[in-house]
Structure 1
Amino acid sequence: MIRASSNRDLICVLLSTFLLLFPLISATQAQETASALPPALQQEAMEKLASDLDPQQVGALADLVTLLQQGADAKKTAGALSGGGPDLLERLQSGLNAFGAMVVSNFQSLPALATGIIGGIGALFAGDIAGPVHILFGAIGLLLVAGFGAEFLFNRIVASRRETIQSLKPTSLYETVKIVSSRAGLDLGGLIIFALIVLIVARVAVFDPVMRSYALQAVFWIVLLPRAVAALLRFALAPHRSELRLVTANDATAKSLYRSFTTLFAFVGVAFFLRNVMQGAGADVGETYRFFVGFGVNAWIIAIIWQARHGLTSIILGDDDDPTSGLERMAQFWPYFSMAFIAFNWLLIQVTSSIGIDSLTAGRSLAVIALVVFAPFLDTMVRGIVSHIVPPMQGEGPVAEAAHLQTRYSYVRIARVALLAFLILTVGRIYGLNLLALGGDGGSGVARNSVIFLLILAAGYLAWEITNLWVSQQLAKDSPPQETQDEESEMGGAGKSRLATILPLVRIVLQVTIVTLTVLLGLSQLGVNITPLIAGASIVGLAIGFGAQTLVSDVVAGIFFLMDDAFRMGEFINTGGAQGTIEKISIRSMQLRGTKGAVHVVPYGQISNLTNLSRDWVIMKLKFTIPFDTDQEKVRKIFKKIGQEIMEMDEYKDDLLAPFKGQGVADVDDVGIVVRGKFTTKPGKQFGVRREIYKRVQKAFEENGIQFARKEVRVQLPETAKLDEPQKEAIAAAAAEAATPKPAV
C-alpha cells in the first residue's frame, strides 16, 4: 500500500510538472515525447493505472493525452504547409497530363472501337446477344404495331378535340398558351398510351427477358425518345403554325431547330442502344465510345446553335418594340456564350473522367446543355408571364407611361434573377453540388461565406428593384397627365403633386442606403473588417459638416422648403434673383427653366424669399384704353357677354374658375379712359384664355362701333382759313412730329 501510494504521488508530481512546462514545449517535442512512451502501456495497463488513480489524477492524465495529440496534429499540419503534399499547380499539371493521356488513348483505341461496333452488330444479328435476330425484329415490330395502334385509337377518340384546336385562332398570349398546352397534352397523352401498351405487350408476348429488354430498349431509345423531344419542340416552336408559336422566331428558324434537334436525339437514341448492344457483346470500348459520341453530340449542338444564332437572338429579344440596351447585348451574346459553355462542359466531363471522377455522366451533361440552350425560351416565358401579371397603367400622360414601363422592366428583372438562381442551383445539383447546403453549417467556411455573399448581393439587388417599383407606381398614381403647354405661356402650369416632388429624392436616399448596406455586409461576410470604414465615413461626415457649412445650409434649407411644400416640380417660382419653371430638384439645389430658355441653378441656402406663381389658381387682369366719349356701360356688357361665351367653350370651361368680367374705369390718361377686366383660371391656363379674350374684344368693339384709343394731335383752324395742299402736308408733318415721343437723352 505504501509503495502504491508513493507511485501515485510520483505520477501526480510528473503530471503537474509537465502541465506547468507544456507551454514551453514545441509541437515537435510533444510528438517526440508521445513516441517515446513505452510500448507496454497498452489498454490493460492504462485501465489498471486508471483504477489506481483518483478522479482528479485521471482528469490530468486525459488532459496530457489531449495535449500530446494536439502536438501530433500541429506537426502534421506544419509538414503539409512546408511542402509535404502536392500544391495546386502540381495537381493541375497532373490533371492535364491525365486528360492528354486519355485523349491519346482514345484515338489509339479507334480501331478497337470500330471492331467493337462491328462485332456488337454482328453478334446481335448472329443471335448471340438477344436470341435469334428474326425473332428479335419480330418482337420489335409487334411492339411498334401495338403501340402505334393504341396511339391511333387514342387519336381517333380525341379527333374532335384536335379539330377544334386546329380551327382556333388565338387573339392573346393567354389563349395561345392555352391552345398550345392542350395540343401538347394530346401529343404527350398519345405517347404515354404508346409507352404503356408497349410495356404491356412486351410483358405478355415476349417471354425471353433478355430479348424483351433489348426490344424495349430499341423502341424506347430509337422511336420514343425523338418523338417525345419532337412533341416538346412543337409545344415551344410550333414549326407549322406560326400563330401558336410561343417565341418570337420566323418559320425558317423554328423549322430548322425542330428538324435539327429531332434528328440529333434520334442519333442519341441509336447511340445509346448501340452502347447496350456492345456491352452485351462484351466489347471493352466503353470509355472510347463515350468520348467520341459525346464529342459528336456536343459538336452537333454547337453547329445547330451557330446556324440558328440570329434566330436565337430574335427569340431572346421577343416582341418588344423598344428593347433595352441590356437585353440587346444579352441577345447578341447568348448564342456565343452557349457554344462556349457547351465546349467547356464537355471538356470538364472529360477532365474529371480522366482523373477518376465519374459523377458527371453523359446524361447529366445533356441535361445541363438542355438548360443552357433553352434558357432563351425560359426568358421569353418569363416575359410573357410578366406581361399578364404586371398591373395596368395608373394615371395618364407620359409620366404614367414611363412609370408603367419601369414597373414592367422591374418585374422582368426580378423574374430573371429568380430564373438565374433556379438555373444555377439546378446546374449545381446536376453537377452534384448542393449550393444551399454550402451556405449552411455543414459547408466549409470559404464556400459558406461565398454563398452568403452572393445571397447578400441578390437581396440588395432585389431591394433596389422593389424600391424602383414602388416609386414608379406612386409616381404613376400621383402625377397628372402632362398637357400641351400654351405657345405663348411664359410660366409653368399647376405642377406635380407634393408626393411626386419628394419621391425622386426619397428614391435616391433609399438607393444610396441599399448600396451602402449591401457593400458593407458583403465585405463583412468576406472577412473584411468594416469598422475602419464606418469610422472613416463618420470622420468624413464630420469634416463635411465643419468644412462645408454652405453645403449643410443648402441641404437643411431644402429639407425645410420641402416640408413647407413651398414648391413642386413643374411650378413657376421667383426666388428673388431668378425665376422659371422647376425642372429638377436635388438635395442641394433646384434647376429653373427661364422664360427665354436659360437654366438657372439655385442653391436652397441662397433663397431669401420665394414666390410661387403656380399654386392653386391665377388671376389675370387686362387693360383696354377707349376714347373719352365711349359708353362705359356698353363696354361692361360686352365684357360680360364675352366672359359667358368663353365659360361655355369646351376648350376653356374646365380651366376657368371665374369668368371674365369688367371692373370699370381703372385710370384716365391723356389718350383716353382705361377700363379693366379680370378672370381666374388654373395655373398655366391663363394665356390661352387671354388670347381668346383679346380676339373677341376686338371683334365686339368693331361690331359696336367702338375704337381703341390712340395718341393723336388735333389742329384747329379758323373756319375762314383756306389751305392749299402743301400747307396741309406741312401741318400734318408738324402734328406727327409733335405726337412722336422724343427719345431720352
Structure 2
Amino acid sequence: MRKPAEIFAAAVVLLAGLTQAALAQSTGAQAASASETAEAQVSGLIGGILVAAKHRLSGLAADIVEAPGELMRLMSDASTAMPTGNGILTITYGLILVIVGAGAEWLYWTYASPVVRAVESAPVANPRQGFRLAMRRFGMRFFGLALFVVGIVGAAAYFNWPSGFDGFVIASILLTMIVRFAWLCANTIASPGNPQLRLAAIEPGHAGRFVAATVGMVFLIALSYFLFDLLERSAGAPHAASALRVLATTLLALIVLAAVLSGHRQGNARAKASGRTPPRFPYAFLATALVLGIYGVWLAAGARAASLFAITAIVAAIQTQLRNWVFFFWPEEVLPVEGTSGAGLLPNIVLSLSRYAVVILGIAAAVLALGAPLTDMAMNNDNPLMRFVLHLLGVAGLALVTNIGWIAVRELIDRRLRAIGPFDPHGEAGPNARLLTLLPLMRMTSAIVFLVLLVLSALWTLGIEITPLLAGAGVFGLALGFGAQALVRDVIAGIFYLVEDVFRIGEYIESGTTTKGTVERITLRTVALRHHNGPLHFVPYGSLGTVRNNSRDWVIEKFNLPLPVNVDSEQIRKVIKKVGEAMKADPDVGPLMREPLKAKLYRIDPGVKIFRCKFQTAPGKQFDVRAQAFRRIEAALKEAGIPFADGTQTVLIPGSGSQPAVAA
C-alpha cells in the first residue's frame, strides 16, 4: 500500500495538472473567441458595405424605372403652368433679365473690343509676357461677365417672382454664371485662336477640344448640383432627379475617359516626333482604371465617397504635372550642373506656393464635399477639432515659410555652382575648386538646419513642450559622442581640414595611409579619392593623417641627363638653356611653365657625366612639359652631334681592385 503522503502528493499533482489544462483551455477559448470576434467585425463591415451598395444600386434601378413617369408628369405640369399668368410672367421676367445683362455687357464690349484685339495682336517674346497679356485679356473678359451677372442679379432682385418659379430662376442664373466662368478660364488656358497667349503646352488641334470638354464637365457637375436638387426638393420628382444624375455622371465619366485617351495619344505622338521613347508604364490604363473606379464608387456608395476619391486623384495628378506647368513659363532657364536644383529662384518659389495652394484647395474641396459644419466649428472656440485644424494650419504656414527660405538659400548656392560649371575630373582644379568643395557642404548643412528648425517649431505650434526634448537631445548627443568617438573624430577632423583649406575638389593628394588620388567628392565624414588607375577610395578624415597636396601653386620637376664624359659641360648648359627659352616662347608649352628649363653638371661617374635638368610648372602639367623637354633636348643634342651615354663603358668599381664591371 502507498503511504498517505505519497497519495496526497499524487493528488496535488493531478489537481495542478487539471487546473493548468483548464486554464489553457480557457485561454485558448478566449483567444479563439477574440479572433472570432475580430473576424465577425470585419465580415460584418464588409457585409454592411455590400448591403449598402446593393441597396443603392437597387434604388438607382428603381429610380431609372420610375423616372419616365415623373418626367412626363413634370412636362405636363410645365405645359399647364406656362400658359397661365404666372408662367407668362416668369418667361417675360426671364427675357428681361437676359436683355438687361446682355445689354450691359454689349455696351461694355463696344468700347473694350479694340483693346482686347490689340492685346491679342501684341508681339509675345516669351511665355511670361504671354501670361501677362493673357491675364490682361482675362481681366477684361471677366469684367464683361461681371457686368452681365450684375445686370441679371439686379433686375432679378427688382421683380416679384411668382411662387414656385423663383428657385428655378436662381438655379438658372447660377448655372449660367458657372458655365460662362468655366468657358472663360478654359479659353484663357487653351486660347484656341491665339497660340501666343496659350498658358499650357496644348497642341493647336486640341485647344478647342480642351475648352469644349472643360465646359461640358462643369456644365454636367453644375446641372447635377443645382437643377437636379431643385427637381428633387421643389418639384417632387426624386426618381427623375436621380436618373438624370446617373445620366450626367455617366456622360462626365465618358468625357474624362475621352480626355485621358486623347492625352495619351498626344503624348505618344510627341514622343515619337521628338525621337524619345514613350513611357513604359501604362499611365493611360492606370488613369482609365481610376476613372472607372471612381464612377463605380459613385454608383455603389454615393457622391461623398466618390468626391473624396476624385479630389484626391485630381490633387495627385496636378502635383505630378505642376512642375512642368510652372516651368513652362521659364523655358530659357539653363540646365543645371549635376547636383543642383534646376530653375531659378522665382520659378522654384512659384512652384512651392502652387503646391501648397493645390493641397489647401483640395482640402477645402474635400471639406465642402463632406458637408462639414464650418460655421459652427469656427464659432465654437472650444471645439478640439477646430483647434487641431488651426494648429495644422500653423504647421503648414511654418512649412511654407521654411520651404521658401530653403529654396532661396539653395538657389543662391546652385546659381553659384552653375556659374562655376561642372567639375571636370580630367582637368585641373582651377581657382574655384574651394567653392566646389564648400558650397555642396553648405547646402547640406542648411538643409539639416532648416529641417531641425521646422520640426522644433512645428512641435511648439502643436502645443508640445520642446524644452525637455532639447535637454534629452543634449544628453543623447553626449552619449552618442562617447559611443561613436570615431565618427565624431572624423567629422571634427573634416571640419578643420576644410577650414584650413588643406585640399579641394579636383586636387591630387596623398594621405598618411599611402592612399592617393584626385579629390572627387567631399562629405561630412569622408573624402573620395580617385586613383590614377581608376579605383575610388573613401577615406575617413580621421585616417588621413599628414596630407601631401600635389596640386597647389607650382611644381619643380627634375630629371637626369647622362652624357659622355668627354663632352663640354658649358656647351651642354647653353644648349639646354636655349631649349628652355624656346619652350618658354612656345604658345602651347610656355603658359604651362613658371620658370624655364635649366641644366647644370650634377656629378661625374666613371665614363659618364650626369647633368641635372629642372623646370618649374603648374601642378599636374609637369608630365606633359617633361615629355616636350625630352623631345626637344634629343633633337638639339643630335643637331650638335652630341650622343647620349650608351651605358656600356667599362669602369672600375672603387675598392674592387682591377676587376672590370659594366656600368648600368
CA contact (8 A) 2:64 2:242 kept: no
> TM-score, length-normalised on structure 1?
0.61
CA distance in 1, matches of 2:405, 2:122: 39
Cα distance in 2 between the residues matched to 1:189 and 1:519: 45
Tell me, what secondary structure is at the counterpart of 1:228? helix
Q: Deviations over 1:97-126 (max 9, x none)?
A: 778656645544555543333222222222
Match of 2:616 in 1: 679
1:435 deviates by 9.1
In structure 1, the residue matched to 2:529 is: 592
2:578 equivalent among 605, 619, 637: 637
Q: For the structure 1 residues 343 and 599, does the alpha-carbon distance in structure 2 shift closer, same or farther, using more than 3 Å as the test? A: same
CA contact (8 A) 1:140 1:219 kept: no
**Cα shift at 1:571:** 1.8
Unpaired segments ≥5 residues, structure 2: 1-40, 651-659
Q: 1:543 to 1:673 in 2, by over 3 A?
A: closer
State the alpha-carbon separation in 2 of the partners of residues 89 and 589 from structure 1.
Answer: 56
Q: Is the 8 A contact 1:666 1:674 kept in 2?
A: yes
2:646 to 695, 703, 711: 711
Change (3 A) 1:564 1:713: closer
Match of 2:69 in 1: 115
Does the CA-based 8 Å contact 1:298-1:343 persist in structure 2? no
Distance in 2 of aligned mates of 1:267 and 1:277: 15
Between the aligned partners of 1:369 and 1:145, the Cα distance in structure 2 is 39
SS of residue in 2 equivalent to 1:402: coil
Structure 1: distance between partners of 2:604 and 2:180: 99
For the 8 Å contact 2:561–2:612, the answer to whether it is kept is: yes
Residue equivalent to 2:511: 575
Matches within 5 A, 1:487-566: 493-494=429-430, 497-498=433-434, 500-502=436-438, 504-505=440-441, 538=475, 542=479, 545=482, 550-566=486-502
Q: Which residue of 2 aligns with 1:660?
A: 596
Inter-partner Cα distance in structure 2 for 1:457 and 1:268: 31
Whole-angstrom CA distance in 1 between matches of 2:250 and 2:168: 30
Maintained 8 Å contact 2:557/2:615: yes
Provide the C-alpha distance between the structure 1 equivalents of 2:232 and 2:291, rounded to a whole number of angstroms.
33
Is residue 241 of structure 2 the alignment partner of residue 260 of structure 1?
A: no
Following superposition, the deviation at residue 143 of structure 1 comes to 5.3
Task: Note closer, same or farther for the CA distance 1:172–1:397 as it changes in structure 2 (3 Å cut).
Answer: closer
Match of 1:418 among 336, 342, 356: 356
User: What is the CA–CA distance in structure 1 between the aligned matches of 2:121 and 2:528, rounded to whole Å?
Assistant: 60
Query: 1:470 matched to which residue of 2?
Result: 409
CA distance in 1, matches of 2:304, 2:485: 64
| Cα distance change, pair 545–329 in 1 and its aligned pair in 2 (3 A) | farther
* 2:254 counterpart letter in structure 1: A
Distance 2:48 2:535 in 1: 71
Q: Deviations over 1:595-632 (max 9, x none)?
A: 21123333333334221112233344466566724453
Q: Counterpart of 2:549 in structure 1: which amino acid? A: N
1:232 has 2:185 as partner: yes
Q: Distance in 2 between matches of 1:436 and 1:680?
A: 79
**1:177 Cα offset (Å):** 1.0
Distance change >3 Å, CA 312–CA 513, structure 1 → 2: farther
What is the rounded CA distance, in whole Å, between the counterparts of 2:642 and 2:539 in structure 1? 47
- Relative to structure 1, is the Cα distance of residues 315 and 185 closer, same or farther in structure 2, using a 3 angstrom cutoff? farther
SS in structure 2 of the partner of residue 545 of structure 1:
helix
Determine the C-alpha separation between the residues in 2 that align with 1:619 and 1:558: 29
Deviation at 1:234, TM superposition (A): 0.7
Root-mean-square deviation over aligned CA pairs: 5.8
1:522-574 Cα offsets, whole Å, 9 max, x none, are 8997999997998699579637725x655554444434433433222322111
TM-score, normalised via structure 2 length: 0.68
Over 3 Å counting, the alpha-carbon distance change for 1:700 and 1:424 in structure 2 is farther
Structure 1 residue matching 2:429: 3-state secondary structure:
coil
Whether contact under 8 Å (2:559, 2:613) holds in the other structure is yes
**Take 2:378 and 2:434, find their aligned partners in 1: how far apart are those partners?**
45
Deviation track 1:406-463 (CA, whole Å, cap 9, x = no partner) reads 9789647633552244224422552455899989993655775687479658857975
What is the alpha-carbon distance in structure 2 between the residues aligned to residue 522 and residue 613 of structure 1? 49
- Cα drift, residue 477 of structure 1: 2.5
Q: Percent same amino acid among aligned pairs?
A: 18
Structure 1 letter corresponding to 2:644 = A
Whether the 8 Å CA contact 1:387–1:408 is kept in 2: the answer is no
Mapping 1:53-72, distance limit 5 Å: none
Give the alignment of 1:231-380 within 5 angstroms: 231-251=184-204, 253-267=206-220, 275=228, 278=231, 283-286=235-238, 288-309=239-260, 373=314
Q: Which amino acid aligns with 2:139?
A: G
Q: Which residue of 2 aligns with 1:161?
A: 115
Closer/same/farther in 2, CA of residues 178 and 741 from structure 1, 3 Å limit: same
- Distance in 2, matches of 1:224 and 1:464, equals 38
Aligned to 1:184, which of 115, 118, 138? 138
Alpha-carbon distance in 1 for matches of 2:408, 2:284: 24
Q: CA 1:465 to 1:190, structure 2 compared with 1: closer, same or farther past 3 Å?
A: closer
Judging changes above 3 Å, is the alpha-carbon distance between structure 1 residues 571 and 554 closer, same or farther for their aligned structure 2 residues? same
Aligned-partner Cα distance in 2 for 1:345–1:665 = 98
Distance in 1, Cα, partners of 2:336 & 2:554: 22
Deviation of 1:173 after TM superposition, in Å, equals 1.4
- Once residues 399 and 174 of structure 2 are traced to their aligned partners in structure 1, the CA distance between those partners, rounded to angstroms, is 47
Q: Give unpaired runs (5+ residues) of structure 1.
A: 1-86, 353-359, 716-737
Shift of 1:582: 1.8
Aligned to 1:481: 421
Deviations 1:27-67 (A, max 9, x none): xxxxxxxxxxxxxxxxxxxxxxxxxxxxxxxxxxxxxxxxx
Structure 1 pair 202/662, CA: closer, same or farther in 2 (3 Å)? same
Of 372-381 and 522-531, deviating more is 522-531
Query: Matches of 2:125 and 2:223 in 1, distance apart?
Result: 41
Pairwise CA distance, 1:643: 0.7
Does the alignment pair 1:442 with 2:381?
yes
What letter corresponds to residue 227 of structure 1 in structure 2? R
Does the 8 A contact of 1:636 with 1:661 survive in 2? Answer: yes
Query: For the residues of structure 2 that align with 1:171 and 1:471, how far apart are their CA atoms?
Result: 29
The 10-residue stretch of structure 1 (148-157 or 246-255) with the greater mean CA deviation from structure 2: 148-157
- Determine if contact 2:577/2:597 at 8 Å carries over to the other structure: yes
Task: Give the paired residue count.
Answer: 600
The one-letter code of the counterpart of 1:284 is: G
Verify the 8 A CA contact 1:410 1:466 in the aligned structure 2. no
Contact 1:144 1:219 in 2 (8 A): no
- Residue 233 of structure 1 aligns with an amino acid whose one-letter code is A
Distance in 1 between residues matched to 2:376 and 2:629, nearest whole Å: 78
One-letter code aligned to 1:422: I
Q: Which amino acid aligns with 1:185?
A: G
User: Is the partner of 1:561 in helix, strand or coil?
Assistant: helix
Aligned AA for 1:172?
A: N
- Structure showing greater radius of gyration is 1
Aligned 8 A contact 1:659 1:679 in 2 = yes
Shift of 1:249: 3.1
CA distance in 1, matches of 2:380, 2:642: 95
Partners in 1 of 2:480 and 2:160 — Cα distance?
91
Q: Structure 1 pair 494/189, CA: closer, same or farther in 2 (3 Å)?
A: closer
* Helix, strand or coil at the partner of 1:591: strand
